[in-house]
Chain A
Amino acid sequence: MTGPLTIENLSVSFAGGAIEAVRGVSFELRKGEILALVGESGSGKSLTARSIIKLFPEGATVDGRIVLTGEDVLSVPQADLERLRGKSAAMVFQEPSIALNPVFTIGWQIAEGLRAHGMHDRGACRARAIELLRDVGIPDPETRVDYYPHQLSGGQKQRVVIAMALALRPAVIIADEPTTALDVTVQAGILDLLRRCRDELGSSILIITHNLGVVADLADRVAVMYQGRIVEEAASDVLFASPKADYTRRLLAAVPRLGQSVAKDNGCRERGRLVLEADNLEITYPGRWGHTAVPAVKGVSFDIAAGEVLGLVGESGSGKSTIGRAVVGLSPVTGGAMRLFGEDLRRARGKNLRELRRRTGFVFQDPASSFNRFMTVFDCIAEPLRVHRAFPSADALRRRVVELLDQVHLPREMATRYPGELSGGQRQRVGLARALALNPAFIVADEPTSALDVSIQAKVLEIFTTLQKELGFAALFISHDLAVVEEISHRVGVLRHGELQELGSTREVMTAPRHDYTRLLINSVPVPDPVIQAEKRRSAITSQSADSGLV
């Protein structure tokens, strides 16, 4: 029998065909199947997914055929399209916090989908909304149905988005990067939920993702997209075992794998001079008028020796970024002590503080927003040098900037371009060059690669590691990605709710974690190998009580 969704020769272009985002994509989604559409940003995977319910950005030219439960989506009239949307195919969005309307209750929003398909009885809509919320694992749904989105956590919001997609039991669920915005321990729960949608409701799922761990965990079949084309399509285990297309091989090679990095020359490393010491560090954000203050970091102690990279892992809200920002004075140290190059940050003032800042570099998370878009790349990199009057002549300054561009493997011509004209990976390399400009002895890198694609991430990490070895700076490397931290750091600290759970050499923490939370964190990371991941899942299920069923 034919599946609920067939796409034939789909092309999407912009600007009158000048930009071809999707070029002749064809595939079929079978009944009860989970198909993963994999690719990096700009590969056209999201656009393909959105085409299925005809949600195009403005100015798109579309060609081809999309047959959804027997009807051609691209040619049906608007009224039929509105009927198909939600009923035949429903979508789960990437970022739950922006996929929910902030000014309406979640119950109202679920009911809107039901009303659009002819269910007008208020009581029935509400009852169905509560039922759906219970199905997706929202605790106390009778109360939460009247909550507004901002009253829920990120994972709960994504469950609500899934509940909305399930409302009319669609034949096809399109999940566009459903776990990218979520923490890894929350991700595992959402992936389970999606699998149950297939197992218990028989829905076919098209999951769009860049995360090969997620693919290995969930998908039956994989289609790899590259530059608007599907370059390879195969059953999940086949694809991981013997990738055929060149691009797939490169993609698989770039994925950082937990527990497989080359063993580091750590542990026995001589830990002489300390660069950073945090002693019972407390950081509390002052409460707004009439509200209690919120402690973000509670009694955290660690130190970093010269030339050492300390990885700080944790989920959102764990306080890891707060610590990083405190080092450079962007968050206040309210208790305990933080000594940078032996100077207490709470006492440092004026010239001393300036000197500390000169010796510390900072790499920001999002390269898109951490540059002034009216400054050229040259000026961005030169800024710290100018601020600290580090170079006497314009000529010396220019030589230094060129040297930095070379170090991060960027062509010299880029100096005259603007950050907006660069790709994400190039921008982050500029960010690294800027942090290195003053030849700092210490660098704070706050999630420097989390906004990047895996292959680009691999390149940036490689540059970082090489430079770290060459220049010998110490670093505080903050990340939510265990595999990245493992690859980069000599020692690892695990944070949760502002407390340091575990601190030790990378090998110790990753292979023999002492703390339950660390173990949970490590186990939650899906392994980019379907065989191992399935094994892992089976052992997880046997150790867990069975979940409540879906309707």
Chain B
Amino acid sequence: MLSYTLQRLGALVPVLLVVSLVIFSLALLAPGDPARIILGPEALEVDVVKLQDIMGLNDPFWIRYLRWISGVVQGDLGVSYFSNRSVAAAIQSHFIPTAQLAVLAISYALAISIPLGTLAARWRDSFFDHAIAGFTLIGLTFPSFVLSLILVIALSVWLHWLPVAGYRDPFGSPLVGLRYLILPTLSLGTIYASVLTRTVRASVLDVLKSEYLDAARSRGVKENRLLFAHALRNAGLPIITMIGLSFASLLAGAVVTESIFNIPGIGSLLVTAIERRDYPMLQGVVLFLTCIYLGLNVIVDLVYGLIDPRVRLSGKGVQ
């Protein structure tokens, strides 16, 4: 298992190198000169050239890439053109709210989707199943910002139960912090819950046809135990894949929700960096998100091994 893990992690190195190269060149290929943007439209040409020299923008591509990547390897992602803050620190402070939101949203989505999806498969074609199918369809087709706005109007404006928007650190004051996170969690999580419920239903349904469930049934194993102990683990692989993907996109792409609820997350950091052509920030954030994606993929693969012994033991010990 350990060697498998190391092998998987080792395979990431070339991927990350290629990605870093792409990220670095994309930012430079885009039109717009950072020095000019920093100095504003009124700046003198002499000053622009001077700043370009200081920033090293006139050096050849490879020199600039190597300078950047050697910093990255040492944990130095550079300094923002605008705030003079270190990129790493900015990512860190913006990642915390996003991660909190993502964990809450995915937990909420799982808490709903696993029981509902499993039961929908169990009572296939029943009224319950059709009702679930209807709700998940609505969840899938509903734009998240519309759901957000409806929730804000209902729970905050009319009922005054929850704050309209904003963010307070839950580690500082848990109750207040969580109150602020409830609305964004509901609006993000509901959509992922719909996708996951469908995945769970489909994969459980697939497993329910298996002969080994009939075999266990023939030995007197009770229906509920068959469903939740015997079948669910087999249905796990596609579900885990879907959870990994959902979680990764939650971490990277909650931009809309973050801006509706005014949460200082990684999405807003990225959008601001793009608007300002803050290349160090942009490159840092994208590289960071790539690492998150790849890391989650490795975790998903490792979880495969935990669930399915055929993945774990493949090639070893057969017969």
Write the nearest CB–CB distance from B14 to chain A, whole angstroms: 15
Whether a CB of chain B sits under 8 angstroms from the CB of A95 is yes
B220 close to A86 (CB less than 8 A)? yes
Whether a CB of chain A sits under 8 angstroms from the CB of B315 is yes
B:204-232 near A, CB below 8 Å: 210-223, 225, 230
Interfacial chain A residues near B315, Cβ < 8 Å: 288, 290-291
B215 close to A91 (CB less than 8 A)? yes
Task: Produce 1/0 per residue, B283-319, CB < 8 A to A.
Answer: 0000000000000000000000001111001010111
Whether a CB of chain B sits under 8 angstroms from the CB of A102 is yes
A:65-85 near B, CB below 8 Å: 78, 82-85
Q: In the bound complex, what is the Cα–Cα distance between A290 and B11 (angstroms)?
A: 14
- Please choose the segment from A147-155, A449-457, A473-481 that sits at the chain B interface, where 4 or more of its residues have CB less than 8 A away: A147-155
Whether a CB of chain B sits under 8 angstroms from the CB of A161 is yes
B218 close to A55 (CB less than 8 A)? yes
- Please choose the segment from A33-41, A108-116, A494-502, A509-517 that sits at the chain B interface, where 4 or more of its residues have CB less than 8 A away: A108-116
A82 close to B222 (CB less than 8 A)? yes
Interface-centre pick from B211, B219, B222, B308 (highest chain A CB count, 10 A): B219
Whether a CB of chain A sits under 8 angstroms from the CB of B80 is no
Interfacial chain B residues near A148, Cβ < 8 Å: 309-310, 313
A:90-105 near B, CB below 8 Å: 90-91, 93, 95, 98-104
A113 close to B310 (CB less than 8 A)? no
A102 close to B234 (CB less than 8 A)? yes
Q: Which residue of B lies closest to A287 (CB)?
A: B315
Interfacial chain A residues near B222, Cβ < 8 Å: 82, 116
A112 close to B219 (CB less than 8 A)? yes
Whether a CB of chain B sits under 8 angstroms from the CB of A167 is yes
Whether a CB of chain B sits under 8 angstroms from the CB of A87 is yes
B215 close to A85 (CB less than 8 A)? no
A55 close to B217 (CB less than 8 A)? yes
Write the nearest CB–CB distance from B313 to chain A, whole angstroms: 7
Whether a CB of chain A sits under 8 angstroms from the CB of B233 is yes
Q: Which residue of B lies closest to A94 (CB)?
A: B211
Interfacial chain B residues near A53, Cβ < 8 Å: 218
Q: In the bound complex, what is the Cα–Cα distance between A91 and B309 (angstroms)?
A: 26
Q: Which residue of B lies closest to A109 (CB)?
A: B216
Whether a CB of chain B sits under 8 angstroms from the CB of A164 is yes
B319 close to A151 (CB less than 8 A)? yes
B215 close to A100 (CB less than 8 A)? yes
Interfacial chain A residues near B230, Cβ < 8 Å: 101, 104, 112
Task: Produce 1/0 per residue, B37-68, CB < 8 A to A.
Answer: 00000000000000000000000000000000
Residue in B210, B234, B319 whose CB lies within 8 Å of A152: B319
Supposing A103-B234, A151-B317 touch, asked if A85 and B214 sit within 8 A by C-beta, the answer is no
B210 close to A98 (CB less than 8 A)? yes
Q: Which residue of A lies closest to B319 (CB)?
A: A153
Interfacial chain B residues near A55, Cβ < 8 Å: 214, 217-218
Interface-centre pick from A53, A84, A103 (highest chain B CB count, 10 A): A103
Task: Produce 1/0 per residue, A407-447, CB < 8 A to B.
Answer: 00000000000000000000000000000000000000000
B211 close to A116 (CB less than 8 A)? no
Task: Produce 1/0 per residue, B214-256, CB < 8 A to A.
Answer: 1111111111010000100110000000000000000000000
Interfacial chain A residues near B307, Cβ < 8 Å: 103
Write the nearest CB–CB distance from A356 to chain B, whole angstroms: 35
Interfacial chain A residues near B318, Cβ < 8 Å: 150-151
Whether a CB of chain B sits under 8 angstroms from the CB of A30 is no
A150 close to B310 (CB less than 8 A)? yes
Q: Which residue of A lies closest to B236 (CB)?
A: A103
| Between-chain CB contacts (< 8 Å), 22 pairs | A85-B220, A99-B211, A99-B215, A101-B215, A102-B212, A102-B310, A103-B234, A103-B308, A103-B309, A104-B233, A109-B216, A112-B216, A112-B219, A113-B219, A116-B219, A116-B221, A116-B222, A150-B309, A151-B313, A151-B317, A290-B7, A290-B315
**13 more A-B contacts (CB under 8 A) besides A86-B218, A164-B219?**
A53-B218, A90-B218, A100-B212, A101-B215, A101-B230, A102-B308, A103-B308, A104-B233, A112-B230, A116-B220, A116-B221, A148-B309, A165-B219
Interface residues of A (CB under 8 A from B): 53, 55, 78, 82-87, 90-91, 93, 95, 98-104, 109, 112-113, 116-117, 148, 150-153, 161, 164-165, 167, 288, 290-291
Interface residues of B (CB under 8 A from A): 7, 210-223, 225, 230, 233-234, 307-310, 313, 315, 317-319
